[in-house]
């Protein structure tokens, strides 16, 4: 048996001893009295009786050994600015922000909504909340007033921290009018507002309500705000899921379990060492930004890069230039970003010295084989796929190279991580599928390990009913993803449970069909959905983007390519999986975090209302599909 297999087995067989050891990776004010209280399933309480502070663990505790080392590296290719904050600087800025929050009336347990672009002040605000025991709720800066208003109502914040503007492609995008409109739309009593003025867009301030960070920072320049020691189970934040499958869910996270889970993942999964640099290209509006831009790397004593800008501006080499400049050792991105880079000049990947980089971690959506092969060959570095959810806060499936070096398998995110009792369940019978190569729903046996969601914010019933009641007769956490495990224990994610197609009694994952189609040399991206069909129950429909529009000059060329793709699927998966149509588009509907919105495509194909589209990136994409299927 490998060292990892032993490590994993022990995490489930002796969870208290296992997690008590992991808990030593962080600082406690009061050590926990009990490792896990699972007397009221599915609600797990981790490190009960312990008290600590996330900000202390991310910032203060590093002052002793690395006060002058880089902590936060804020790079913006939008405003052409770059600033390195040492742990000492970060400590000072966070205290200024914390003092400002206290000044504006924020108390322990109050919510602070953060609606910010990717600037250092956003991280200061998150850490300041943690410092004073306030609960942050970061809302992705790209959301418009409607989405923001519903999140304001749900979080009922005492304070909103925002900025005059974000920026995209060098063009400022005003936030203040969107914020004002959201406050007007929401039924929540208007909270205090703290505005960071980047001097990108003029702002109108409401007297008595709106405050400028610039002024309050000045007032609190020498602030000394001690960390509030909170119970391990005290909520640290709430965050919404991406809304790929429906209405976003407000995930609530604890403090102690999260700190331990992140510290452990930095060591065992990301092989991180204090003093090194971590670069995650995500956004603070998503869970990856929370865990692996802000908290994880800082808890590990690393410098973390916060990047505002496109991956392609000034050119497709910008990220690699940062890897060279800051000697990044671990990098985290998403397949969607890699696909963008793939369209750039490949020479840009060879231009920089990437010798510091040990691995590139990718998550968020299935990593298709062509994308994986391209990036791994171009970089000459290990590519580590990892599968998880906003709900879990850290990887469920991947490879823990920090415990034991293990090979990756293309198309598989890897094996279950320590603490996660991952199983496959037959949806119809509710029985566990123990054999190799059987398809089922990926579920996790309770208790969920440290770092995972405690509940849905203010809605325990929704937590239980949404996640734990989907398999009749069993209290297990459903990921709502469909998967398969091979004989070596590696999992493959086949798509969301909603995306499983039933063609004449055959159950197929949309992902399998997409993989097959994207292997065609002329296809760059594809979405497959199941559409209701009177005869067969459901049929697969594909919407594909070609690599070069010149490939499809006319209807005859489209028909020819459609035929080739159908043949390809026949050969790979059999005729049952063959899409009834392959249509060509220039854009696919995605969430703002880059995930395919298959449910919206499916609804349009079936002429139904596509539902909640607040997280959709570009409505034009769905319109193309509407036009094609009209």
Q: Which residues bind ligand ATP (CB under 6 A)?
A: 241-246, 248-249, 363-366, 385-387, 389-390, 413, 479, 481, 493, 496, 593, 595
Tokens 């000044």 -> residue: 103
Taking the complex as a whole, the smallest distance from the CB of residue 248 to ligand ATP amounts, in Å, to 5
- CA-CA distance, 597 to 593, in Å (whole number)? 11
Instruction: Please identify, using beta-carbon distances, which residue of 106 and 396 lies nearer to ligand ATP.
Output: 396
**Using an 8 Å Cβ cutoff, are 179 and 154 in contact?**
no
Least gap, CB of 477 to Mg ion (angstroms): 12
207: Cβ contacts below 8 Å, ≥ 6 apart: none
595 binds, among Mg ion, ligand ATP, none (CB under 5 to 8 A by kind): ligand ATP
Q: Are 263 and 395 in contact (CB under 8 A)?
A: no
CB 531 within 8 A of CB 539: yes
Q: CB-based contacts of 131: which residues, under 8 Å, 6+ apart?
A: 53, 55, 56, 94, 95, 98, 225, 227, 228
Q: How far apart are CA 32 and CA 28, in angstroms?
A: 8
243 binds, among Mg ion, ligand ATP, none (CB under 5 to 8 A by kind): ligand ATP
Which of ligand ATP, Mg ion, none is residue 198 near (CB under 5 to 8 Å by kind)?
none
289 binds, among Mg ion, ligand ATP, none (CB under 5 to 8 A by kind): none
Q: Identify which of residues 479 and 538 has a Cβ nearer to ligand ATP in the complex.
A: 479
Nearer to Mg ion, 95 or 241 (CB): 241
| Cα torsion angle, 75, 77, 79, 81, sign | positive
What are the residues binding Mg ion (CB under 5 A)? Answer: 241
For the bound state, the minimum distance from the C-beta of residue 364 to ligand ATP, rounded and expressed in Å, comes to 5
C-beta neighbour count of 554 within 10 angstroms? 8
Pick one of Mg ion, ligand ATP, none as the site partner of residue 85 (Cβ within 5 to 8 A by kind): none
- Residue 250: CB minimum distance to ligand ATP, A: 10
Q: Cβ 99 to ligand ATP, closest distance in Å?
A: 34
Which of the listed partners (Mg ion, ligand ATP, none) does 413 bind, with a CB threshold of 5 to 8 Å by partner kind?
Answer: ligand ATP
For ligand ATP, the closer of residues 450 and 509 by Cβ is 509
Structure tokens at 295: 């908290």
Question: d(Cα 247, Cα 99) in Å, to the nearest integer?
Answer: 35
In whole angstroms, how close is the CB of 19 to ligand ATP at the nearest point? 23
d(CA 459, CA 451): 19
Identify which of 305, 212, 269, 612 has the alpha carbon closest to the alpha carbon of residue 417: 269
Residue with Cβ nearer Mg ion (333 or 591)? 591
Q: 481 contacts which partner out of Mg ion, ligand ATP, none, CB within 5 to 8 A by kind?
A: ligand ATP
**Which residue number, 95 or 591, has a Cβ lying nearer to ligand ATP?**
591
Q: Which residue is nearest to Mg ion (CB)?
A: 241
User: Which of residues 291 and 401 has its CB atom nearest to Mg ion in the complex?
Assistant: 291
**Burial class (CB within 10 angstroms; exposed 0-12, middle 13-18, buried 19+) of 504:** exposed
Structure tokens at 241: 């899921």
- Smallest separation, CB 336 to Mg ion (Å): 16
- Alpha helices (H) in 519-596, listed in sequence order: 555-573
């Amino acid at each position: 048996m490998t060292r990892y297999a032993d490590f994993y087995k022990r995490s489930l067989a002796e969870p208290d001893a296992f997690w008590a050891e992991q808990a030593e990776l962080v600082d406690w004010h009061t050590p926990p009295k009990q490792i896990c209280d699972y007397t009221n399933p599915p609600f797990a309480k981790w490190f009960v009786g312990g008290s600590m502070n996330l900000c202390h663990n991310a910032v203060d505790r590093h002052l002793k050994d690395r006060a002058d080392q880089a902590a936060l590296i804020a790079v913006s290719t939008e405003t052409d600015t770059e600033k390195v904050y040492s742990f000492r600087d970060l400590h000072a800025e966070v205290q200024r922000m914390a003092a400002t929050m206290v000044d504006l009336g924020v108390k322990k347990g109050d919510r602070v909504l953060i609606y910010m672009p990717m600037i250092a002040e956003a991280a200061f605000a998150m850490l300041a909340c943690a410092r004073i025991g306030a609960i942050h709720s970061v809302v992705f800066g790209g959301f418009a007033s409607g989405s923001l208003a519903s999140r304001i109502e749900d979080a009922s914040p005492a304070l909103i921290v925002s900025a005059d503007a974000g920026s995209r492609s060098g063009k400022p995008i005003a936030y203040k009018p969107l914020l004002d409109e959201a406050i007007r739309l929401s039924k929540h009593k208007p909270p205090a507002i703290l505005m960071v003025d980047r001097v990108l867009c003029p702002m109108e301030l409401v007297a008595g309500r709106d405050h400028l960070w610039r002024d309050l920072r000045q007032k609190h320049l020498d602030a000394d705000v001690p960390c509030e020691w909170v119970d391990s189970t005290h909520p640290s934040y709430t965050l919404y899921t991406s809304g790929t499958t429906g209405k976003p869910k407000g995930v609530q996270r604890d403090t102690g379990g999260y700190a331990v889970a992140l510290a452990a993942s930095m060591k065992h999964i990301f092989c991180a060492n204090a003093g090194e640099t971590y670069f995650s290209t995500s956004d603070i509006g998503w869970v990856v930004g929370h865990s692996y831009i802000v908290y994880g790397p800082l808890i590990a004593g690393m410098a973390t890069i916060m990047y505002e800008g496109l991956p392609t501006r000034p050119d497709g080499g910008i990220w690699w230039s940062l890897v060279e400049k800051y000697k990044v050792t671990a990098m985290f991105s998403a397949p969607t970003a890699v696909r963008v880079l793939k369209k750039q000049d490949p020479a840009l990947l060879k231009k920089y010295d990437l010798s510091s980089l040990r691995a590139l971690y990718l998550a968020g959506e299935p990593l298709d084989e062509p994308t994986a092969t391209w990036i791994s060959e171009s970089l000459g570095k290990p590519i580590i796929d990892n599968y998880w959810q906003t709900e879990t806060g850290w990887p469920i499936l991947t490879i823990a190279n920090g415990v034991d070096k293990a090979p990756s398998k293309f198309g598989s995110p890897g094996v279950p991580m320590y603490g996660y009792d991952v199983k496959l369940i037959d949806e119809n019978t509710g029985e566990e599928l123990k054999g190799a190569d059987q398809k089922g729903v990926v579920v996790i046996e309770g208790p969920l390990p440290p770092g995972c969601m405690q509940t849905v914010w203010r809605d325990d019933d929704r937590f239980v009913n949404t996640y734990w009641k989907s398999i009749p007769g069993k209290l297990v956490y459903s990921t709502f993803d469909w998967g398969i495990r091979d004989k070596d224990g590696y999992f493959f994610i086949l798509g969301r449970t909603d995306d499983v197609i039933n063609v004449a009694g055959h159950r197929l994952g949309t992902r399998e069909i997409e993989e097959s189609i994207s292997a065609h040399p002329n296809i760059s991206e594809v979405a497959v959905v199941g559409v209701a069909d009177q005869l067969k129950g459901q049929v697969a429909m594909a919407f594909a983007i070609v690599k070069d529009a010149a490939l499809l000059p006319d209807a005859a060329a489209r028909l020819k390519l459609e035929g080739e793709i159908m043949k390809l699927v026949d050969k790979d998966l059999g005729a049952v999986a063959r899409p009834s149509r392959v249509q060509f588009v220039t854009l696919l509907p995605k969430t703002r975090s880059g995930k395919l919105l298959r449910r919206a495509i499916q609804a349009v194909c079936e002429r139904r209302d596509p539902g909640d589209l607040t997280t959709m990136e570009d409505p034009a994409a769905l319109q193309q599909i509407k036009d094609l299927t009209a």
